[in-house]
Chains A and B, each alone.
Chain A
Amino acid sequence: MNALATRRRHPAAIAVLLLLGLLVTGGAYSFLAPKDANAAASAAAADDVAKGKDLFIANCASCHGVGAQGTKSGPSLVGVGAASVDFQVGTGRMPLAGPNVQAPQNKVKFDDEQIAALAAFVASLGPGPAIPEEKYTTVIEPGTPENNKAIAEGGEIFRVNCAMCHNFAGAGGALTRGKYAPALDGVTPRHMYEAMVSGPQSMPVFNDTNLTPESKQKVISYLKAQENQTNVGGLTLGNLGPVSEGLFAWVFGLGILIGCAVWLGKKAA
């Protein structure tokens, strides 16, 4: 028939087909996969409790109750503070799209002004952690000796308090029954800080007496320093440790070498 049909028994045909299949599925996935929500939110200025209340009743009250006192489907928000609202809504975790073991990071549904209003409203219900001062969410840049020291201290605090869940490089990790600690790259310093003080979902609270605001700032700076660190060794394979390295050795290391061996054993044209 045609050229394609005569080559269907060629030894490379399977490899070509596999590659084609992978390309198509991979391409389709990257096209269809949900794009990362841009969770950037700058410091809000206006705090209009009344406007926040309206927004709350319209968007949140169905789960948290009209007075935010909590219902069967959502916890009470009295005393959770503005930090909690800014984190949950500012990263798109709230409003929750559907019941799940854990609220995933999602597309942010409100603008900065609305989030600030919601936060102001919830903060007015009872005392709780406030949105952090900007001086503590400013990243300490490496360069000077004291800054470097602060970053190194942040690393020590991170390894003792955070790495067990979020992994050594902040790549995230598994918890029980489908819950997980999310990856930390791309999270804004403010949201990191707010997560520490408010303890969202499974995360414990790290109050200011446990980790002082300065310590939190050091942790954040360490994470950002790692994020901006050049990949000295090349491709990081997701910073997942030996599992991804082993996989790479099997698939690519062995794959390439077997490819060479096949070429070596094949008779020349």
Chain B
Amino acid sequence: MSTINETRPADALRAGDRQADEHASATKPLGGIAGWMDDRLGGAKGVSFLAKKVFPDHWSFMLGEIAMYSMIVCLLTGAFLTFWFVPSATQVVYDGSYVPLQGVTMSDAYRSTLGISFDIRGGLLIRQIHHWAALIFVVAVFVHMARVFFTGAFRKPREINWVFGTILSLLACIEGFAGYSLPDDLLSGTGIRAMNGFIQSAPVIGSYLSYFIFGGAFPGEAIIPRLYSVHVLLIPAILVGLFTAHILLVFLHKHTQFPGPGRTNKNVVGYPLMPVYIAKAGGFFFIVFGVIALISAVVTINPIWAYGPYDPSPITAGSQPDWYMGFADGALRLLPGFLEFETFGFTWSMNIFPGSLILLPLMWTIIGVYPFVEAWVTGDKREHHLLDRPRNAPTRTAIGIAGISMYVVLFLAAGNDLMAIKLHLSINDITQTLRVLFFVAPPVAFWITKRICLSLQRADRQKVLHGRETGTIWRHADGRFEEIHAPLTPEERWVLVQHESLEPLELTAGKDANGVDSPIARKERLRAKFSRFYFRDRVAPATPSELEAAHHEHDDHAAALDGGHEAIEPAAAGQERETVKADKQHG
């Protein structure tokens, strides 16, 4: 009855499989330029090591590559843009070819951006590619981060890389904000103006900080060149350095993989860098670049010419930052005004400070330390190279979704005016609703997500124990109807039963010999509490003996009912299974 495949251990190879370190015998000697290089660098050793690195295939593993490639596109197009962009706030009179602004006084930065858009052939295209790539870069960074989080890829030994990634994502946002501010149009100038407000809100040092950053009174002429060197030099340098370390660690740790037949914590199953991943990952760079260029050909982004030059007096309805700064802007819209107060004549702007200067570092700190918190709670010191299916880590998944729901509430708040006008709602009602949702949504999202995860796990158990629904309905001679369930193949089943289901840690001895609480026990008690929170609700994966029992039950039922309740192996079910298998192979 047991259908466990015992013919081959999990790590064993099939006929035709190759072990990664197997060398193909060299057919021709290294010569020419390659030989000359190797004489000097000895690179051949590294090449053969790199070329047979194995990468597992999964679409979600490409999210990080989307981020990487769109960053490269940004670097490339950004270098082009520096050839024409003038980072200067000096006021000049526009005399370029865009009619509605001719004769208007504006900064040189804005004039040169108009020049790129209208007077440099193909300049607008490069500008749009740069900006679209930047937006997609940050989108991909966040989605990649979510993938890593929900699959538990941040666990040992990859915690350091998670921290690197966290810093990278923060830098990406700051880099984006700096770039968005450079053209000095009305919208970005309003953004800088708000930034000045944020800085001023810092207790004690706010005013000084503002004067430092702006080189005097707002707006001054220093901020544009300063943001420029931050945008093109300082942050890109850190970004590229950290990103290189990020990639090197991926090589060092070897890529994680999703659980599956033959995939264990001690191996990595996939395709070698040479040639498959050279072609696939290399090709993907061209795909990402190409898609961004195609979007930039037909979709406008940041039409700075329509905004007009920055001037502190005018403003436009719908003043928003780029999307990745939206959540901070939303927080500022939700914070109520009464939080500001004065003590001894000093002003505490608690209606601004938490949403602007605290929120970003706080959010990224929480993200950055999460792996360490979870590792402490589980007490798990093992290495993990097999990914979790999100449903198999219900509490983590629920925490993630709760955090995302909080983020989304803030994010939506940043668009409250557009929601009001597009959905014909009152902006005041939207703001009030979002204020409530900020506190209500996360616990609700947590609870719902956890329930869904547990239900999915139960469904997995059902599937393992009672087989897959085939959609075929049988009518018995006595008129009963019943759906035929097909048993799973060992390969199908393995995905559903491979995971470990952690149990809450419990205290056994909290007191020392004299019956006094030891300090360590107090710490452990807290840990036990967290552990209960994480693992109290658990659905254990099905086991062979349970499967056995389920079969017996079916057989008993079958005997009793003469036909079988969920006939798992009636006379024809064997054939059924064969056809299912055949279908799979064809599809």
Contact = CB atoms under 8 A, between A and B. Distances in A.
Given A160-B313, A261-B63, A235 B299 contact: yes
A44 interface: no
* Interface of chain A, main secondary structure: helix
Contacts of A149: 102-103
Contacts of B417: 173-174
30 contacts: A5-B471, A6-B583, A148-B102, A151-B99, A152-B101, A159-B311, A160-B311, A163-B308, A167-B318, A168-B316, A173-B318, A173-B417, A175-B427, A178-B424, A181-B317, A231-B300, A242-B326, A243-B318, A243-B326, A243-B414, A245-B135, A245-B301, A253-B292, A257-B291, A260-B284, A260-B288, A261-B63, A264-B59, A264-B62, A265-B58
Nearest to B133: A253
B118 to A, nearest CB: 7
Interface string B31-66: 000000000000000000000000001111111011
B95 to A, nearest CB: 11
Nearest to A155: B100
A145 B103 CA distance: 10
Interface in A120-175: 142, 145, 148-149, 151-153, 155-156, 159-160, 163-169, 171-175
B132 interface: yes
A168 B316 CA distance: 5
A248 B299 contact: yes
Interface string A227-241: 001011111110111
Nearest to A163: B316
Contacts of A176: 426-428
Nearest to B425: A178
B102 A260 contact: no
B418 interface: yes
A241 B139 CA distance: 17
User: What is the interface of chain B mostly: helix, strand, loop, or mixed?
Assistant: helix
Interface string B451-486: 000000000000000000001000000000000000
Interface of A: 5-6, 8, 10, 101, 142, 145, 148-149, 151-153, 155-156, 159-160, 163-169, 171-178, 180-181, 222, 225-226, 229, 231-237, 239-243, 245-250, 252-254, 256-258, 260-262, 264-265
Contacts of A222: 100
Contacts of A177: 426-429
Nearest to A157: B314
A265 B135 contact: no
Interface string B98-111: 01111110000000
Interface in B291-318: 291-292, 295-303, 305-308, 311, 313-318
B120 interface: no
Nearest to A177: B426
B153 interface: no
Interface in B556-587: 583, 587
Given A233-B124, A239-B306, A242-B323, A159 B102 contact: no
A147 B296 CA distance: 32
A242 B322 contact: yes
B371 interface: no
Contacts of B65: 261
A158 to B, nearest CB: 9
Interface string B171-213: 0000000000000001100000000000000000000000000
A174 B301 contact: no
Nearest to B471: A5
Interface centre among A225, A231, A242 (most CB of B within 10 A): A242
Interface size range of chain B in the complex? 35 or more
B315 A163 contact: yes
A163 B317 contact: yes
Most chain A CB within a 10 A radius of its CB, from B117, B136, B140, B187 = B136
A232 B429 CA distance: 37
Interface of B: 57-63, 65-66, 99-104, 117-118, 124, 128, 132, 135-136, 139-140, 143, 186-187, 280, 283-284, 287-288, 291-292, 295-303, 305-308, 311, 313-324, 326, 414-418, 420-421, 424-429, 471, 583, 587
Contact of A242 (B66, B297, B302, B315): B302
A92 to B, nearest CB: 17
A148 B96 CA distance: 12
B284 A261 contact: yes
Contacts of B316: 159, 163-164, 167-168, 173, 241
Contact of A243 (B315, B323, B429): B323
A257 B288 contact: yes
B317 A172 contact: yes
User: Would you list the 8 A-B pairs with minimal beta carbon distance, nearest first?
Assistant: A173-B317, A246-B323, A233-B300, A261-B62, A159-B314, A178-B426, A249-B135, A168-B316
Contacts of A261: 59-60, 62-63, 65-66, 284
Contacts of B124: 232-233
A246 B135 contact: yes
B70 to A, nearest CB: 9
Given A152-B104, A176-B426, A253-B132, 15 more contacts: A148-B99, A163-B308, A167-B316, A174-B427, A225-B100, A233-B117, A237-B299, A242-B321, A243-B415, A250-B139, A253-B135, A253-B292, A257-B66, A265-B59, A265-B62
Contacts of A171: 318
A165 B315 CA distance: 9
A236 B311 CA distance: 24
Nearest to A9: B471
Contact of B187 (A152, A156, A168, A181): A168
Contact of B291 (A5, A6, A253): A253
Contacts of B187: 168, 241-242
A174 to B, nearest CB: 4
Nearest to A252: B295
A163 B314 contact: yes
B282 to A, nearest CB: 11
B101 A155 contact: yes
Contacts of A226: 100, 306
A178 B420 contact: yes
Contact of A174 (B302, B306, B322, B421): B421
A261 B143 CA distance: 14
Contacts of B60: 261
Given A163-B317, A167-B316, A257-B287, A245 B100 contact: no
A142 B307 CA distance: 19
B454 to A, nearest CB: 23
A40 B100 CA distance: 26
Nearest to B62: A261
Given A250-B139, A261-B59, A236 B303 contact: yes
Given A159-B308, A159-B311, A246 B102 contact: no
B100 A235 contact: no
A245 B62 contact: no
B301 A233 contact: yes
A234 B287 contact: no
Contacts of A262: 59
Contact of B308 (A155, A172, A241, A256): A155
A148 to B, nearest CB: 5
Contacts of A245: 135, 301-302, 322-323
